[in-house]
Structure 1
Amino acid sequence: MTGCMLGKTVLPQYNALLPKRVFLFILLIVSFSGMAACQPIQSLLMENRESMLSFTIEKNSQIIQGSCPKGSTVQQALEQAAITYSVQDIITPSLAETVSENMVIKIITVTYEETKSQKIIPFASQTIRNETLPEGETYMIQSGQNGIEEITTRSAFHDGVQVSQSISNRSIIKESIPEILMIGVQAEHAPIQIPGKIIYISNGSAWLMQGTTRDRTPLVTTGDLDGRVLDLSSNGEWLLFSRITKDDEINSLWMLHITDWEAKPISLRVSNVIHFAAWLPGDTLRFLFSTVTPQESAPGWKADNNLELQVVSESGMIMSKETLVESNEEGLYHWWGTDFLLSADGRTLAYANSDSIGLIDRLTGEKNRLITILPYEKTRSDWAWIPGLSWSTNEKSLLFAFHGDISGVIQSYNPTEFHLGLYDLEKSQSKKIQNETGLFSYPVSSPAFEDSSSYVAFLQAITPSESENSRYRIMIMNADGLDPKTVFPLEGSGYITPQKVCWAPVHLKNDAWISFIYQGNLWLVNPFTGIYNQITIDQSITDFIWE
């Protein structure tokens, strides 16, 4: 009984203590579990701290501390630190470089500032010597005016401090106008009668000589004619010429009504004409031209080798435009260009480039290659040799210069082998008519004279083996190439530089003259009498025509 009673008394007490013990046991287990769980978290925190890199940013006198994960680039570090910068800022180390511990990243803020200023362009002074005025007499034919240039200066700043300054742009607000003085000089030569009109360029201005060599009239006195184009219309009233231009153009075409003394030059709105421009015969103002494309490398252009026709009114209004030959790259040295020569009736053009000669039908644009020319391959890289070309007097033949064999297919390295040839248009045959004339023989056919004879003037190199740099003598020969003789100089000195001479527009041998430039002056020589005259003394003539 007692044992039974004892059992009853103890059991309730045990049952009351059991929950507390279980709770303590569970708490103990949880505590141990928590302590065990804290170890990985602390390790991760330590690992994260060890994988981060500290860096310092210096910008605009400010110091900014930051951190980034290992392996980050400077660019990523700046992005993480929310630092802004521009592409022109100077950042060291570079954006692509990997960040290292305690790296110092320096940012220099770069800014630019532009200012504009104006500069006076002093006008130039030009002097024109005029043999029609008494010696020492001076006239102001154009007052000089200063120009204005606007200069844009760009300054660079590093963190607000100027570090450099340079001119970023120049623009002409007002062109300067040259002062032009006309000074009289003593005439040293008696005047002689001349047929037709001689128009010449002296000091960049155009002059007309008509009636006698003393009667001279200024036509264009701007001082900017370049002599690339100079042609008189068939009625003798309109002058076609080229003027130097600025900016991106080489030159531009103009016309002038020379029989109207109050007329002013008229722009034809055509630019970059180097090799050819000429009036077509007739009363309508029609002209042909070929253009080039300007470029910075030598020779300053790339030829288009095209042929254009333009019709204008007397006021310069463009009435019509037509392309006869499209731009092309025909010829070995096509970049240099093509020379053209118009027939008397204006229907046909002869052309010459570095390796061929042919004809172009102006009405159809059809091109017919006639002659193969052996190119001259020893010239300097900035120019190419184009063979001299001329119609015969009756225009049934072409006179031309050629290198090596007249077939144009046999290679020659002999510097003396530059000759004159004649191509018969009716027989389609070529033949050599003069030997060793030099690169720049420039044949020119005479008018038909009273006895139905005709001649060819040409140049012959004094030193055929060095004809590229040689001076030349003036020769004439019969139309078939026979009986060559020297015309100038007769005494064996005073040779001329390469040029195309002109025949006077007459049909009597006694009145015949060949005109040419010698030492900057115009000279006339009668090839049949041997009489020659110097007709100018200003020593500044660069080009002329006689029509």
Structure 2
Amino acid sequence: MKVRFGASLLLALFLWGCQPAASPAGPKSSITVQWDSQTTTFTTARATVRDVLQDLGIQLGTLDRVVPGELAMLSDGLLVKVTRVVEVLETETVELPFEKQVVRNEGLAAGGSRLLQTGVNGSEEITWRVVQEDGILASRAVLRRTVLVAPVPEIVMVSAQTNFTVIPIEGTLAYLSAGNAWIVRTDSGQRRPLTTSGDLDGRVFQLAPDAQRILYTRRLTGTDAFNSLWTLSTTDTAAVPVDLAVRNVLWAGWSPQAGSTLAYSTGEPRSAAPGWQANNDLYLLGLPEPDKKPAKPQLLLAASSGGVYGWYGRRYAWAPDGRSVAYAAADSIGIVDVADPQAVTQRVLAQFVPFQTYSDWAWVPEPDWSADGNFLYAALHAPAVGLELAEDSPAFDVAALAADGSLRVNLVAQSGMWAAPVLAAAASLDRPVAYLQAINPLQSVNSGYRLMLMDRDGSNRSALYPVAGEAGLLPQLPAWSPAGGMLAFIDGGDLWVIEIASRVAQQLTGDGQTSSPSWVP
């Protein structure tokens, strides 16, 4: 036992002797700290700014700022400054002044004006982000704005009458201006409004073949439908517009052989762009007898998905004999035989790769018939011109398609996507095909266009309007005069006509809100 006790004592003494000697205290630094309107100077042996703050019992908020930072090492004479940062949100309600809008209308007498809508101020809630440092404002910035009550603009209608040269007008020329239908007969000085509601949406706007009636669509608000189909006499100044009880119309057109019969296609309203989902259907409808209920529509084509980009819908065009209707989709053009409404057939004339727009719209051709009904003309999406994918090809060609499917001829290469050839009803013309030629054909989606003429086979092409160097036209469908001696078109929002033989163009309107010319005998 004595031996064991002695050995343990020796071991303990050895281990105690091996412990390191206590290190001497570190050097002390004189530090000044400023916080909460206080300043203190003292000497400390602590190592970091954080240590000093802890010794003084200074607690930091989430946004508080310390200079130098908390992990900075102390040095003699160091100044440590604590800045208290407070962020608050403040709201205020301010008045939103109404804007003043001026609408030009040729229906008012020269120099006249009319208040259409009284302006009303609105209100807006502004949320401010306010930052204070040590109780002093450092910054104040707008975080968000919320409109509480939208202002109502003041709308004043002023006269847009301008003394343009009066020229003879063959047949009846109709056009849209500021949401209303207008017609011109005899000469350009004799024009009058057919409607005054200001809600025509321009999706459908067409004179009947005998010019006795006009077909149009009106915008609807506060309902589940986006528009409605109407017709109105163009000869009876006391006539009342007739609601055809058809809603959500994407296309409608008169039968060329029966002025009291029309066809139409519909869609379904959608909250997302473009605002509808096409049904790709087709109905036949006869006008109601006076004081009678509208006739029941006859289904020609049942609703369908419509193929690629079918959600956007199809374009249609009646054949001159009224026995068939051409259709155009994003990937094909064909014919619907409606001679027997009980046995409707459909056949494809041409297929092409649909154009990828990378947006909420789809490109669909605008077909038109030759006067004899043997050919369809349209701009078609062409193959790639470089290394791009087929659906990204920027090229579009004007083509003629035989109605019996026996022939397809490309007439104009790289015309642009909005070329939309329009054929004159007069079969005797030398150059009965009018179309738009893109000034930048490989960027035709946003290009300006020139109005062109050509023969049925694509020969004898020439530019009609505007002259070289002037700004091009926007995409549109020009309208031939009944005898084919003139074309009506839109330039700068105004209606113009140009005489084919002399190439002289004449402006007819000056309100800058005109569109959709329709011209019949």
Same fold by TM (over 0.5)?
A: yes
Shift of 1:503: 0.8
1:376-409 residue CA offsets vs partner (Å, 9 max, x unmatched): 12x0331111123111122111112112249xxx
8 Å CA contact 2:431, 2:454 repeated in 1 = no
Matches within 5 A, 1:292-331: 292-311=267-286, 312-315=288-291, 317-331=293-307
Q: Could you say which residue in structure 2 is the equivalent of 1:335?
A: 311
2:152 counterpart of 1:193:
no
Which secondary structure state, in structure 2, belongs to the residue aligned with residue 254 of structure 1?
strand
Paired residue secondary structure (1:465)? helix
1:478 corresponding residue in structure 2: 455
> Is the 8 Å Cα contact of residues 128 and 180 (structure 1) preserved in structure 2?
no
Of residues 230, 234, 247, the one that matches 2:209 is: 234
Kindly state the Cα deviation for residue 257 of structure 1 after the two structures are TM-superposed: 1.4
Equivalent residues of 2:175, 2:518 under 8 A apart:
yes
TM-score by length of 1: 0.65
Number of residue-to-residue matches in the alignment: 384
> Matches of 1:214 and 1:330 in 2, distance apart?
45
Measure, in 2, the Cα distance between the counterparts of 1:344 and 1:376.
Answer: 29
- Counterpart in the other structure of 2:333: 357
Match of 1:533 among 506, 513, 517: 506
Residues 1:456 and 2:433 aligned together:
yes
One-letter amino acid of the structure 2 residue matched with residue 401 of structure 1:
A
Distance 1:440 1:425, change over 3 A: same
Question: Alpha carbon RMSD of aligned pairs, Å?
Answer: 2.9
Tell me how far 1:514 sits from its aligned partner. Answer: 1.2
On the 8 A contact 1:277/1:288 being kept in 2, the answer is yes
Correspondence 1:399 to 2:372: no
Question: Equivalent residue for 1:443?
Answer: 421
SS of equivalent residue, structure 2 residue 194:
strand
Displacement of 1:425: 2.6
Return the match for 2:354 from 350, 359, 375: 375
Structure 2 match to 1:136: 111
Quickly say closer, same or farther: Cα 1:540–1:214, change in 2 above 3 A: same
Q: CA deviation at 1:423?
A: 1.2
User: How many angstroms does 1:218 deviate by?
Assistant: 1.1
C-alpha displacement of 1:492: 2.1
Give the deviation of 1:501 after TM superposition. 1.0
Read off the aligned partner of 2:459 and give its amino acid letter: L
SS in 2 for 1:240: strand
Contact 1:525–1:533, Cα closer than 8 Å, also in 2: yes
CA contact (8 A) 1:285 1:314 kept: no
Q: 1:236 to 1:179 in 2, by over 3 A?
A: farther
Q: What amino acid is aligned across from residue 457 of structure 2 in structure 1?
A: D
Change beyond 3 A, Cα 1:305–1:543: same
Q: Are the equivalent residues in 2 in contact too, given 1:421–1:434 (CA < 8 A)?
A: yes
Counterpart residue identity of residue 371, structure 1: A
Distance 1:283 1:400, change over 3 A: closer
Q: Report Cα offsets for 1:74-121 as digits up to 9, x if no partner.
A: xxxxxxxxxxxxxxxxxxxxxxxxxxxxxxxxxxxxxxxxxxxxxxxx
Instruction: Find the aligned partners of 1:543 and 1:361 in 2 and give their Cα distance.
Output: 28
Contact 1:448 1:454 in 2 (8 A): no
Give % identity. 32
Q: Does 1:504 align with 2:477?
A: no
Counterpart of 2:296 in 1: which secondary structure?
strand
Which structure has the larger Rg?
1
Give 3-state SS (helix, strand or coil) of 1:217's partner.
Answer: strand
Task: Return the letter of the residue paired with 2:218.
Answer: R
Corresponding residue to 2:187 among 208, 212, 215? 212
Shift of 1:189: 1.6
The answer to whether the aligner puts 1:514 opposite 2:487 as a matched pair is yes
Q: Tell me: higher relative CO, structure 1 or 2? Use CA pairs within 8 A at least 6 residues apart.
A: 2
Structure 1 residues 476-534: Cα deviation after superposition (integer angstroms, max 9, x where no partner): 11111011111111242131111111111115xxxx11111111101111233211111
Alignment of 1:62-461 (within 5 A): 127-130=103-106, 134-138=109-113, 183-246=158-221, 247-274=223-250, 276-281=251-256, 285-311=260-286, 312-315=288-291, 317-362=293-338, 363=340, 364-377=343-356, 379-405=357-383, 412=390, 415-426=393-404, 428-448=406-426, 451=428, 453-461=430-438
Q: Is the 8 A contact 2:262 2:284 kept in 1?
A: yes
Give the 3 Å change call, closer, same or farther, for CA 334–189 of structure 1 in structure 2: same
Find the aligned partners of 2:431 and 2:473 in 1 and give their Cα distance.
Answer: 24
Could you report, residue by residue, the CA deviation over 1:128-178 in whole angstroms, capped at 9, with x for unpaired residues?
521x755213468xx8799xxxxxxxxxxxxxxxxxxxxxxxxxxxxx9x9
Native 8 Å contact 2:401 2:409 kept in 1: yes
Say if 1:252 and 1:270, in contact at 8 Å, map to a contact too. yes
Instruction: Name the CA distance, whole Å, in 1 between partners of 2:470 and 2:325.
Output: 37
Tell me, yes or no, if the aligned pair for 1:351 and 1:357 is still in contact at 8 Å. yes
TM-score normalised to structure 2 length: 0.68
Given the superposition, is the C-alpha separation of residues 402 and 476 from structure 1 closer, same or farther in structure 2, using an over 3 Å criterion? same
Supply the distance in 2 between the matched residues of 1:263 and 1:212 (Cα, whole angstroms). 23
The alpha-carbon deviation at position 234 of structure 1 amounts to 2.3
SS in structure 2 at match of 1:318: coil
CA distance in 2, matches of 1:518, 1:336: 27
CA contact (8 A) 1:447 1:454 kept: no
The match for 2:444 is 467
Indicate conservation of the 8 Å contact 2:332/2:349, yes or no: yes
CA contact (8 A) 1:445 1:454 kept: no
Q: Structure 2 counterpart of 1:330, which letter?
A: G
